[in-house]
Amino acid sequence: MNNKLLLQFTVVALIAGLIGGGISGKLQNYNSNNGSSNTQIVQERHYVEESDSISAIEKVAPSVLSIVATKDLQVLQDPFQFFGPFGMMAPQQGQQDQQNQKNQPTTQRKQVSGGTGFVVSADGLSVTNKHVVADAAADYTAVSSDGTKYDVEVISRDPVNDLALVQLHVKSQDETTDTSSDNSTNSNKKTDAPKNFGAKPEKLPFVELADASKLKVGQKVFAIGNARGEYENSVTGGIISAIGREIDAGDARGGFHETLTGLIQTDAAINFGNSGGPLINLDGEVIGVNTAVDSGATSVGFAIPANQVIPAVESVKKFGKIVRPFLGVQHIILNKQKAKELKLDGIEYGALITGDRSKKDFGVIAGGPADKAGLKLDDIILEVDGAKITEDNTLQSVVQKHVPNDTLTLKVQRNGSQFDVKVTLDERKE
């Protein structure tokens, strides 16, 4: 009996073991297959992301330009002379004229700066930063991704932003200008004569400017440019770190300074020479123009949103220059905290006209549209055409959507009272 019972238990145990082993094997097989499936999904996702990135870069890269500035710079003569065994060597016959010639001031054609730009129309109209083409005494050459060189005509420098529109021109066959040349020339050479530009190019690849108002923090972006003025079409990647930034930007020499607002902040590396290059999204659309970097930080770069570029391009096509509207007030944008600090009770938004009475700075440009409309220091512009002025909808951004001679209705608060006033915009001068 006991043996029979033991045999039954053994059989049951054996069957249970077989069943359990089968189940375990299936679970292991399932887990193995499931893990393989997850790995495959991740790999496929990475492949798609990389493919999108490569496609976006390949779409834009042919339209990116390296812009080089060249200039005639005076060459300093060496004041030291070689000595022979018996003192200073006397000039030999025929060398005196050479010495006299050497004493004449000479210049050398030198590359003085490098930047980036990109083509926005098939005939070579292109965008760059204003500070890239700021030197009116320099000549500019653009080099495309395939190595083709073009003469650059500066069409218009933006009076309110670090933007410039330039026109590419085909170089003539007999033109021998070398952007890196250091050949000496006589200082009497006339350098301020108007340049005779060649024909406009045809059928150039050009970029698509996107709507930057829909950007999100964390969105993947790429910067393309002439890094350090020598590594053309360098690509760096990152994300949008923030939007709507305001900075005071200037060059290292102190010759250029500008307050820039509404900027895109990115951690994509923006190096010296990247200025004027495109910041693009995964669809291969330009969402901004790379313009500045925080030199005291790591991976903190800034780009002008495409929404500020589009009106400049349209303006040049329509008027032949960048035309910007002008209201004529100095102001700060208020929020609840800032209004509280300034003891502005009941105010949570608006643009406060600011100045310094001790310096007779009353915040309103004399003779400008705001002055003609009767606006004063400490007035708060609450709305423009019914839209509230906030950190996300600044006074500058609202005004820049208009053109000179447009009439706007402003809701203004003064000494606790509110009233409406109409103002007609002027044209902003550089």
Fill in the amino acid letter for 182.
D
Separation of alpha carbons 280 and 348, rounded Å: 35
DSSP-assigned letters across all residues of 53-122: HHHHHHHHGGGEEEEEEEEEEEEPPP----EETTEEPPPPTTHHHHHHHHTS-EEEEEEEEEEEEEE-ST
Catalytic site residue from 113, 126, 144, 275: 275
Host H or E run for residue 307: helix 306-319
User: Tokens standing for 9?
Assistant: 């238990």
DSSP 8-state secondary structure symbol assigned to residue 213: G
Reading phi first (left if > 0) and then psi (alpha if -120 to 50, else beta), residue 293 is in: beta
Fill in the amino acid letter for 193.
A
Whether 173 and 182 have beta carbons less than 8 Å apart is answered as no
178 is known as an active-site residue: no
- Within its chain, how far is the Cα of 363 from the centroid? 29
Host H or E run for residue 220: strand 220-227
Instruction: Tell me the three-class secondary structure of 118-154, residue by residue.
Output: EECCCCCEEEECHHHHCCCCCEEEEECCCCCEEEEEE
Nearest to 375 by CA among 413, 425, 427, 417: 413
Residue 2 phi, psi dihedral angles, 5° rounding: -65, -40
Catalytic site residue from 113, 131, 151, 234: 131
CA distances from 212 to 119, 130, 135, 224, 231 (A): 18, 20, 30, 17, 28
Judged on CB neighbours under 10 Å (0-12, 13-18, 19+), 131 is: buried
Catalytic site residue from 72, 151, 158, 162: 162
CA distances from 346 to 309, 385, 392 (A): 36, 21, 20
Give the contacts of 226 (CB within 8 A, at least 6 positions apart): 66, 67, 114, 115, 116, 232, 233, 234, 273, 274, 277
Residue pointed to by tokens 């004529």: 328
378 is known as an active-site residue: no
Residue pointed to by tokens 């069943």: 19
46 is known as an active-site residue: no
Q: Give the residue numbers marked as catalytic.
A: 131, 162, 275
